[in-house]
Structure formats: C-alpha cells, structure tokens
C-alpha cells in the first residue's frame, strides 16, 4: 500500500523539481543554522561552530542528490531529459524534422484510417446481445448457392428445431411511399417477426416493439422506426410516439424508436410487423423470406446445420412436389455480414502496412544521413563517459518522439478521413458498427507509432553502437567526416527495399486498374447512354387490380414518351445488373437432365423495354398489345381461381408468350430454332411459347456471367398485392436534366407516389463496380505514395553520394576525366540500386499478387503487361530522382572541390 503510494508520488515528483529544490535548500539551511547555534551555545567560536556544522552535514551536494533521487524516479527523469534533448535536436534541423514527420504522418495516418474501418467491420463484435450465437438461416436448392425461405418451411424449422433457442423471419427491406404532408418520399421498410428484436437482443430506446398478435394479421398498422429515421423525419422530437406515419396511403401508429447503434438489415428505416398468417407466408416453393436464429448455449453452427439438414430432408420426403432438393444452410451472422468484405479489407491493410514500411525505410534513411553529421557529437558523448546503451537509448527516444509527432499529425488526417467515410455511401462495407476513431484504434495507432519509431530508429542507433570512438575523433581532427562503409551499405539497402516495396504496390495497383478498366468495358448488353431509371410502387389500397394498375403504368409511359427530349419509356419489374427473380423450367421431351437444375431469370416488361435499353432483337418479334391484353386477362383469371381454391389447376387453354435471351435459346434449344418452342414451370403444365430472342444482358452484375433470361408481358406481374415497376426512360438529352420533367409527370398522375432511386443507367453501372473503384483508387494512392517516398529516398542517397565524392570528382576532373565519366559514376550507382530494387520487387510482386486474385477481373496476377508498365514507370521515376544530384555532380568545379581540403 505504502509502496504503491510512494511510486505514484514519485512519478508526479519527477515534475516540478525547481520548487521542491528551493524548499529542500531552505530546509538544509535551517538545519545548518540550528546546528551552528547549538554549537555556539556549547561555547565554540563562530568559526569552529560553522566548521563543525558543515562537517556534520556530510556533504550538502551529495545530500541534495540523494533527496532528488528519492523524490522522483531516475528512470523517468532520464526519459524526460532525453525527450527534451531530442526535441531540441529536432528543432535544430527543421527541414529534416518536417520531412520525416510528414512522411510518418502519411504512413501512420493512412494505417489508422484503414484500421478504423477494419476495426468496425471485422474486429468489433456485432452490436447484438450474445452476437456469437446468432446465425443466418438459408435454404439451398439444386442450383448452387443460398436461397431465401419459403414461409411454410420456416414455420416447420421454427417448430422442430432443438438447437435454436429462437428464430425470426423477416423480408428483404423494400421501398415504400411515405407521405409527410406535401410530397411523397421513398422509405425503406422491413417487415419482421415479433421475435426479431429479441433474437438480436436490442431493445427500443422509446416505446415498444411488436407483439406476436400483430404478426397474425395483414392489417396491423404499427411501425417501429430507426434512430436515423426518427432524426430525419421527426427531428428527433420526443412526442413521436403519438404521431402517425403514412406509408403507401395507410396511417401507421409509431410505437417504438430503436437505438442509434441498430443498422440491421442494413438500409432499413422502418420496421413493420411481418404478416405471419398462412396467406402472408405464401406457399412452399415460393422462396421469399429471410431468417435469423439464436443458438442455444453450447450448440454450434455445425450442430444446428446437422439438425436443420435432417429437418429439411424430412420435409423433402413429406412435400416432394415443392421441396425436392431443398436443403438447409446455417452460417454465423457475423460471417454472413462481414465475410464478403474481409478479403478486400485485408488486402488494403496489407498494402497500407507496406506503405508504412516504405515510410519507415525512408525516415531511417534520412536519419542515417543526419547521423553521419552527428557522429562527432555522439563520439564526444561516448568519450565523456556515456555508455553505449545510454547513447542508443537517447537515439531511440529521439526517433520514437519523431514517430509520435508523425502519429499526432497522422491522427488529424485519419480523423478527417473517418469523418468523410463515416456516412459516405461510396465505401461499400457493412455498417453494422459505426466507423470511428475509438479506443481500440487509438491504441493501435499508439502501438504502431512506437514500433515504427523503434524500427526506423534502429539503424542509426546500431550505427552509433558500432562507433569506434578513437577513429571518429581522429576524423574529427582531420575535419573530414567519412561515413563508414556500414552506413553507406545500410542506406543503399534501404533504398533498394523502398524501390522493391513500391514496385510491389504499383503492381497491385496496376492490376486493379487494369481489371477495373475491363469491368468498365465489359459487355453489359445494354446501351446505357441517355437512359434514366427510377422505380414506383403502387399501394394495393389505391390500385386494387390489374386494370387500375395497368392504367397507371400506361398513362405514365404515354405522358413520358410525349415529353420533350424523351424518345422512349418502358416499365419492367427488374433492370439490368441488379438481380431479380429466378426459377427452374421444364421442357417436355428434353433429353438433357442437367437443364432441370439451371436457374432461369424472369423479368416482366412492356414492349418498349428492349428499345429503351438498346437490347437487340436476334429473332422473332416483340410483345404486341394483344400479348399484353391476353396476359392481363389470363393472369386475372388465375388469381380469381386461386382465391376460391389455392390448389386449383391453371385452366389448360391458357398459354403465355415469352421472349428469351440468346443464352437461354442456346442453352435449352442448342441445335434448333427456339422460336415457337415451349417450356413450362416444373409444377404446372401452363406452356410458355417463345416468340422472340434478344441479346444477353448482365443480370446480376458486370462481373457475373449472363444467365438464361426470360421476358414476360409486364401485365403478368400485376393484379396481386402491390405493383412494382422500374421505369426506364430513353432520351436525346442528358438524362440528369430530365429528372424534374419526369418527377412532374409522375406527380401529376399521383402525387402520393415517391420517385424511388432515380438514377441514370450509367450510375447503375458504376454503382455495380463501386467496390472495385474504391479498391483501385485506394491501392493506387498507396502505390503513388510509396513511389514518391522511394523517389525521395533514392534522391537523398544520390545527393549524399555526390556531396561525399565532390573531392574525388574534382580530382578526377582535374586529372582530365570527361563529364560522361562523372555521369557514369553517379548514374551507375543509381542504376545498380534501381535494378536491384526492381528485381526484388518483381519477385515480391509475383509472390504477393496471389492475395489479390479474388479482386481481379479479366486479368491474372501475373499479367506481363502490367508488370512491364510498372517497371517502366519505376525506372522513369528513378531517372527523375537522379536528375538533380547528377547535375550537381557534373557542375563540380575542380578548383572549388579541391579547396575543401
């Protein structure tokens, strides 16, 4: 107890020494005076009394020193002394200090910023209670991949599972029309089962969440809103629970507000009670819903997987029609959310760590150059009795001080970056945790900067420890400061390392740039120029049936296509690149059994769709008005029949027309003309007859292969519940300028409808490769930074070389050497270093780029073109770095040079 207290007091005692010393001296004087007076009383003469008193004291200087040692911690005191000394030294060479601190700030700042993202995405636990027990549940089908749930399957799993403590079904978040007075705005709503909030263990910060009863009706008009939505739409007002929210024309009571930390499923703004009734859950075979679960304590992902697979196998036996080949898949929720970004984030962390290493090498290089100038000082300190360890410690303190200064500056930069990316949508990573400079990140920065300080401080410190004091002082006497061979070799090696590392980074960046180019040039199958797209959603209460819905879309298309500048307008359920619905098909008499396992994409379009997106017709014809009318009527008939009896078979006279993609035609009818051929869905006999073949389109993204695709008359997608339409507008004007025209037309037809996600088709494409764009941009900047640092390193080594050899060059020139000899001398050295760096860098690149493989598109990690380009860039930059030193060497005046002696 007492000992601990003493240490604390001694730590604080290390500071404020001056006042303490004054008090101590006064105390000693008092002591001395009392002794003197006592001696006088005993009858001594004044001189004798003073002499005795001083003798008793036992040496005042030693006493002062002893007290000082006891009052503070000598270790700390040395540290502060070293820091003060280091600070003075750094201030004495501001040029060096500024360059070094900036270099380190860039390196450490970039690392901090990237680490803050990694910390939020990969390291921090999900902000849910017992997050390590949460799992995402999927179904599997005959085609590879994970698929959403069929409602009745989910209910069976929920009831039968013994490994899961609780489960919750929810829908994919989707857009709704929110009217907040005058104008309609899109809002992202997510219907969830009441248990959703219990499973993730997040309680509302105000009000309540849903009850089980609210899930048992399609008409529960209650809503739980997110913190962000509360702030944005209600200004965070405290009486929000008494307010109503109008969604798709229906008034909802706001019953709860969720805390700020909740952002799951991502983008959700409003939670609604999911319709868990038999109708709401639809039928087996209709895979629509998502589900999460919570493992019972002691259960694992594997044990749940085993159990659910058994349950799924039983369902398969029980319902062979709908559940054939339907299995189960369990995956940890954390893995589900962060898994896809892990690889690219780790690549970025690796790259930014390499940049920091280059920065370290560079500062070590600068320090070594400076250390040579300081050899005299260090030697002198050694001669005056400073131990080798003491000198190393002093130099390391100085370099750690330097890196801490860099870290401080770097933190400012990182803070700015984090502010920028905190809410930005351009960085496509999961945002379940907010990106922030929290304690973990600060700790990371602190540890990194101390390590960095030691790493780059090591070289000069080691050099100091190798000093031969006698030799150094002799050379001082000769006033020639010769760098030891060791110093020069280490500096050369550092530059080679810098060149090699930047080459590796450049290769990575080059590969990403090349694959990004390929992505942008990849054939999407559509002509994206001058195309604007947005979505509308017709609430079921206002647009109850096919005729009403069709009338709306007809009117919208009509008004739009007659607006100035617009050359075509169409409606579809899906637009290219953003995925869609799919299913299996069957062809009577098809000899190839693998066809039944192929997923076919479905899109429902109006006839103008192909022209608006520039999708070419290869064979056959487009949909006619008759096709649309027929499909509308037939669909209405089927809906009515199903309303009476869900198991009613589709009347045999119904036959739909369909347009297929080239890929679809080539896959299913490889050797014959597909026009006029029919297929049907695996569980129905209703034929779909092919009337046309169109060009292929990337359905699931630029990087995905195009899939077999069918196009149906848009009117088939109407009638049932809410009608969803993606509007595609083709124009002769830049599409962005059309936005207000289009918005006005929509408002004039129905002002309660929001214009959802208005974008140009070009934007749709760039959003699709946004992640690649960000990776390319970041890795490119890191590589540029490393290249710059390497160039500075090469420049400084060469400049130094020229300074060192000025005399030699002078003598050579005096003896008649030509300028090109001098040129050879300097360029030869630069060339050797660059060549060594390039060889090491190429080997390093070949080893490192395999970590990049999964991020590449259309190029391999060993792309010779990229490698050649990168080597050329590096050689060019090295040449530029040589320019100034070489010019100085050439201009050496033999007379001036020899006068150095």
Contact with other proteins (CB under 8 A): which of 44, 63, 392, 784?
A: 63
Tokens, residue 745 = 């037309």
Q: Decide: 197 and 260 in contact? Cβ < 8 Å.
A: no
Contact with other proteins (CB under 8 A): which of 16, 46, 59, 236?
A: 59
Contact with other proteins (CB under 8 A): which of 67, 73, 436, 639?
A: 67
Provide the minimum distance between the beta carbon of 4 and other proteins in the complex, in angstroms, as a whole number. Answer: 9
Q: Decide: 790 and 873 in contact? Cβ < 8 Å.
A: no
Identify which of residues 53 and 566 has a Cβ nearer to other proteins in the complex: 53
Q: Decide: 101 and 402 in contact? Cβ < 8 Å.
A: yes
Identify which of residues 31 and 393 has a Cβ nearer to other proteins in the complex: 31
Identify which of residues 69 and 183 has a Cβ nearer to other proteins in the complex: 69
Binding pattern for the stretch 153-172 against other proteins, x by CB under 8 A and - elsewhere: --------------------
Q: How many residues bind other proteins (CB under 8 A)?
A: 31
Tell me the window of 63-71, 133-141, 376-384, 833-841 that interacts with other proteins (CB under 8 A). 63-71
Measure Cα distances from 558 to 94, 578, 722, 725 in Å.
71, 26, 21, 15
- Classify burial at 554, counting beta carbons within 10 Å of its beta carbon; exposed 0-12, middle 13-18, buried 19 or more: middle
Residue of 536, 527, 714 whose CA lies nearest to 608? 714
**DSSP per position, 469-502:** HHHHHHHHHTT--PPPHHHHHHHHHHHHHHHHHH
884 Cβ contact partners less than 8 Å away, ≥ 6 residues apart: 795, 799
Identify which of residues 38 and 253 has a Cβ nearer to other proteins in the complex: 38
Provide the minimum distance between the beta carbon of 124 and other proteins in the complex, in angstroms, as a whole number. Answer: 42
Measure Cα distances from 133 to 291, 293, 595 in Å.
14, 8, 39
Tokens, residue 39 = 């001696």
Provide the minimum distance between the beta carbon of 57 and other proteins in the complex, in angstroms, as a whole number. Answer: 5
Provide the minimum distance between the beta carbon of 67 and other proteins in the complex, in angstroms, as a whole number. Answer: 5
Provide the minimum distance between the beta carbon of 385 and other proteins in the complex, in angstroms, as a whole number. Answer: 23
60 binds other proteins (CB under 8 A): yes
Tell me the window of 64-72, 354-362, 738-746, 881-889 that interacts with other proteins (CB under 8 A). 64-72
Q: Which of residues 90-109 bind other proteins (CB under 8 A)?
A: none
Identify which of residues 68 and 296 has a Cβ nearer to other proteins in the complex: 68
Q: Locate all alpha helices (DSSP H) within 384-468, ordered by sequence.
A: 388-422, 439-466
Identify which of residues 58 and 298 has a Cβ nearer to other proteins in the complex: 58
Tokens, residue 731 = 């124009």
677 binds other proteins (CB under 8 A): no
Provide the minimum distance between the beta carbon of 13 and other proteins in the complex, in angstroms, as a whole number. Answer: 8
DSSP category for residue 581: E
Identify which of residues 12 and 217 has a Cβ nearer to other proteins in the complex: 12
Q: Decide: 311 and 137 in contact? Cβ < 8 Å.
A: no
Tokens, residue 701 = 């993204």
Identify which of residues 72 and 510 has a Cβ nearer to other proteins in the complex: 72
Tell me the window of 57-65, 173-181, 467-475, 476-484 that interacts with other proteins (CB under 8 A). 57-65
CA–CA separation, 2 and 652 (whole Å): 96
Which string of b and e fits 403-412 if b means at least 16 CB within 10 Å?
bbbbbbbbbe
Q: Which of residues 3-42 bind other proteins (CB under 8 A)?
A: 3, 5-6, 9-10, 13, 23-24, 26-28, 30-31, 33-35, 37-38
Beta bridge partners of 725: 536
DSSP category for residue 854: G
Provide the minimum distance between the beta carbon of 48 and other proteins in the complex, in angstroms, as a whole number. Answer: 13
Provide the minimum distance between the beta carbon of 15 and other proteins in the complex, in angstroms, as a whole number. Answer: 15
Residue of 307, 718, 787 whose CA lies nearest to 550? 718
Identify which of residues 12 and 180 has a Cβ nearer to other proteins in the complex: 12
Provide the minimum distance between the beta carbon of 63 and other proteins in the complex, in angstroms, as a whole number. Answer: 4
Q: How far apart are the first and last CA of the chain?
A: 66
Q: Which of residues 781-840 bind other proteins (CB under 8 A)?
A: none
Identify which of residues 24 and 493 has a Cβ nearer to other proteins in the complex: 24
Q: Is the peptide bond before 542 cis (omega within 30 degrees of 0)?
A: no
CA–CA separation, 149 and 274 (whole Å): 14
Tokens, residue 707 = 């899939």
Residue of 383, 506, 436, 441 whose CA lies nearest to 784? 506
Name the 3-class secondary structure at 759: strand
Provide the minimum distance between the beta carbon of 59 and other proteins in the complex, in angstroms, as a whole number. Answer: 6
CA–CA separation, 663 and 618 (whole Å): 11
CA–CA separation, 202 and 210 (whole Å): 13
Identify which of residues 9 and 847 has a Cβ nearer to other proteins in the complex: 9
Provide the minimum distance between the beta carbon of 62 and other proteins in the complex, in angstroms, as a whole number. Answer: 5
Integer-rounded Cα radius of gyration of the chain:
38
Phi then psi dihedrals of residue 725, to 5 deg: -135, 130
58 binds other proteins (CB under 8 A): yes
- Classify burial at 382, counting beta carbons within 10 Å of its beta carbon; exposed 0-12, middle 13-18, buried 19 or more: buried
Contact with other proteins (CB under 8 A): which of 39, 71, 161, 726?
A: 71
Contact with other proteins (CB under 8 A): which of 48, 69, 132, 468?
A: 69
Identify which of residues 63 and 898 has a Cβ nearer to other proteins in the complex: 63
Name the 3-class secondary structure at 273: strand
Identify which of residues 28 and 617 has a Cβ nearer to other proteins in the complex: 28
Tell me the window of 59-67, 187-195, 236-244, 674-682 that interacts with other proteins (CB under 8 A). 59-67
Provide the minimum distance between the beta carbon of 6 and other proteins in the complex, in angstroms, as a whole number. Answer: 4
Provide the minimum distance between the beta carbon of 43 and other proteins in the complex, in angstroms, as a whole number. Answer: 16
DSSP category for residue 596: G
Farthest-apart Cα atoms in the chain, separation: 139
Q: Which of residues 276-295 bind other proteins (CB under 8 A)?
A: none
Contact with other proteins (CB under 8 A): which of 22, 25, 42, 62?
A: 62
Identify which of residues 2 and 181 has a Cβ nearer to other proteins in the complex: 2
Provide the minimum distance between the beta carbon of 206 and other proteins in the complex, in angstroms, as a whole number. Answer: 50
Provide the minimum distance between the beta carbon of 9 and other proteins in the complex, in angstroms, as a whole number. Answer: 4
Identify which of residues 74 and 373 has a Cβ nearer to other proteins in the complex: 74
Identify which of residues 59 and 651 has a Cβ nearer to other proteins in the complex: 59
Residue of 442, 440, 436, 441 whose CA lies nearest to 421? 436
Provide the minimum distance between the beta carbon of 42 and other proteins in the complex, in angstroms, as a whole number. Answer: 12
Provide the minimum distance between the beta carbon of 78 and other proteins in the complex, in angstroms, as a whole number. Answer: 19
Binding pattern for the stretch 715-744 against other proteins, x by CB under 8 A and - elsewhere: ------------------------------
Tokens, residue 249 = 């024309």
Tell me the window of 55-63, 82-90, 288-296, 644-652 that interacts with other proteins (CB under 8 A). 55-63
Identify which of residues 41 and 88 has a Cβ nearer to other proteins in the complex: 41
750 binds other proteins (CB under 8 A): no
Residue of 561, 533, 532, 555 whose CA lies nearest to 543? 555
Q: Is the peptide bond before 899 cis (omega within 30 degrees of 0)?
A: no
Measure Cα distances from 19 to 69, 182, 239, 680 in Å.
15, 72, 59, 96
Provide the minimum distance between the beta carbon of 238 and other proteins in the complex, in angstroms, as a whole number. Answer: 51
Identify which of residues 72 and 608 has a Cβ nearer to other proteins in the complex: 72
Site of interaction with other proteins (CB under 8 A): 2-3, 5-6, 9-10, 13, 23-24, 26-28, 30-31, 33-35, 37-38, 56-60, 62-63, 66-67, 69-71
């Amino acid at each position: 107890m007492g000992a601990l207290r003493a240490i604390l007091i001694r730590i604080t005692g290390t500071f404020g020494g001056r006042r303490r010393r004054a008090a101590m001296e006064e105390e000693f004087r008092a002591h001395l005076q009392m002794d003197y007076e006592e001696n006088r009383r005993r009858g001594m003469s004044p001189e004798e009394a003073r002499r005795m008193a001083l003798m008793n004291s036992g040496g005042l200087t030693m006493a002062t020193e002893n007290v000082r040692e006891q009052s503070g911690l000598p270790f700390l005191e040395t540290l502060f002394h070293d820091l003060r000394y280091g600070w003075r030294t750094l201030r004495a060479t501001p040029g060096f200090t500024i360059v070094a601190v900036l270099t380190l700030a860039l390196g450490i700042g970039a690392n901090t910023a990237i680490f803050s993202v990694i910390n939020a995405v990969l390291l921090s636990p999900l902000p849910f209670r017992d997050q390590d027990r949460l799992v995402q549940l999927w179904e599997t089908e005959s085609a590879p991949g994970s698929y959403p749930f069929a409602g009745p399957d989910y209910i069976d799993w929920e009831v039968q599972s013994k490994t899961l403590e609780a489960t919750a079904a929810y829908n994919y978040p989707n857009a709704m029309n929110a009217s907040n007075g005058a104008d309609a705005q899109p809002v992202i709503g997510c219907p969830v089962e009441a248990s959703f909030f219990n499973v993730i263990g997040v309680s509302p910060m105000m009000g309540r969440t849903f009850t089980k009863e609210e899930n048992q009706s399609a008409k529960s008009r209650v809503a739980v809103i997110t913190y962000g939505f509360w702030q944005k739409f209600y200004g965070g007002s405290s009486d929000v629970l008494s307010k109503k929210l109008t969604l798709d024309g229906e008034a909802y009571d706001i019953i709860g507000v969720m805390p700020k930390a909740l952002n799951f499923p991502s983008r959700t703004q409003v939670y609604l009670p999911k319709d868990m009734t038999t109708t709401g859950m639809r039928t087996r075979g209709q895979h629509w819903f998502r589900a999460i679960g919570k493992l019972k304590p002691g259960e694992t992902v594997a044990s749940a997987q085993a159990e659910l697979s058994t349950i799924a196998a039983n369902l398969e036996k029980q319902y062979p029609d709908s559940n054939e080949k339907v299995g189960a898949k369990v995956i940890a929720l954390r893995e589900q959310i962060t898994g896809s970004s892990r690889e690219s984030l780790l690549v970025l962390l690796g790259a930014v760590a390499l940049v920091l290493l280059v920065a370290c090498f560079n500062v070590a290089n600068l320090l070594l150059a400076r250390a040579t100038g300081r050899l005299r000082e260090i030697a002198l300190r050694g001669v005056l009795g400073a131990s080798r360890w003491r000198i190393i410690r002093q130099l390391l303190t100085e370099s750690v001080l330097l890196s801490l200064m860099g870290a401080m500056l770097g933190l400012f930069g990182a803070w700015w970056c984090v502010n920028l990316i905190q809410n930005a949508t351009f960085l496509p990573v999961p945002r379940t945790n907010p990106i922030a400079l929290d304690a973990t990140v600060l700790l990371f920065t602190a540890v990194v900067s101390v390590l960095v300080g030691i790493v780059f401080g090591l070289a000069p410190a080691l050099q100091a420890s190798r000093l031969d004091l006698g030799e150094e002082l002799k050379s001082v006497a000769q006033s020639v400061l010769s760098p030891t061979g060791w110093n020069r070799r280490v500096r050369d090696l550092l530059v080679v390392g810098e060149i090699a590392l930047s080459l590796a980074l450049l290769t990575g960046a080059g590969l990403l740039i090349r694959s990004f180019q390929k992505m942008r040039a990849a054939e999407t199958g559509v002509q994206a120029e001058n195309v604007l797209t947005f979505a509308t959603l017709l609430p079921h209460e206002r647009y109850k049936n096919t005729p009403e819905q069709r009338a709306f879309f007809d009117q919208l298309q009509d008004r739009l296509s007659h607006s100035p500048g617009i050359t075509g307008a169409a409606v579809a359920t899906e637009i290219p690149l953003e995925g869609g619905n799919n299913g299996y098909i069957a062809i009577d008499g098809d000899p190839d059994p693998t066809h039944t396992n192929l997923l076919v994409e479905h899109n429902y379009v109006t006839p103008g769709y192909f022209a608006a997106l520039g999708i070419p017709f290869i064979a056959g014809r487009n949909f006619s008005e008759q096709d649309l009318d027929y499909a509308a009527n037939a669909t209405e008939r089927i809906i009515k029949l199903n309303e009476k009896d869900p198991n009613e078979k589709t009347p045999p006279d119904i036959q739909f027309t369909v347009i297929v993609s080239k890929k679809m035609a080539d896959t299913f009818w490889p050797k014959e003309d597909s026009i006029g051929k029919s297929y049907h869905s695996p569980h129905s006999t209703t034929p779909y007859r092919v009337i046309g073949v169109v060009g292929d389109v990337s359905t699931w993204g630029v990087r995905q292969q195009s899939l077999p695709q069918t196009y149906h008359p848009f009117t088939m997608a109407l009638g049932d519940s809410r009608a969803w339409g993606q509007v595609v507008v083709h124009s002769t004007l830049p599409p962005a300028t059309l936005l207000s025209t289009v918005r006005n037309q929509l408002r004039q037809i129905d002002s309660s409808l929001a214009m959802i996600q208005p974008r140009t088709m070009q934007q749709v494409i760039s959003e699709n490769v946004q992640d690649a764009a960000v990776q390319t941009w970041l890795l490119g900047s890191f590589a540029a930074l490393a290249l710059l640092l390497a160039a500075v390193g090469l420049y400084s080594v060469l400049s130094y070389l020229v300074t060192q050899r000025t005399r030699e060059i002078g003598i050579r020139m005096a003896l008649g050497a030509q300028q090109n000899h001098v040129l050879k001398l300097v360029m030869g050295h630069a060339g050797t270093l660059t060549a060594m760096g390039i060889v090491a860098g190429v080997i390093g690149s070949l080893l490192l780029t395999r970590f990049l493989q999964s991020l590449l598109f259309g190029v391999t990690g060993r792309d010779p073109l990229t490698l050649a380009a990168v080597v050329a860039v590096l050689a060019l930059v090295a040449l530029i770095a040589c320019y100034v030193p070489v010019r100085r060497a050439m201009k050496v005046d033999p007379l001036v040079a020899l006068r150095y002696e």
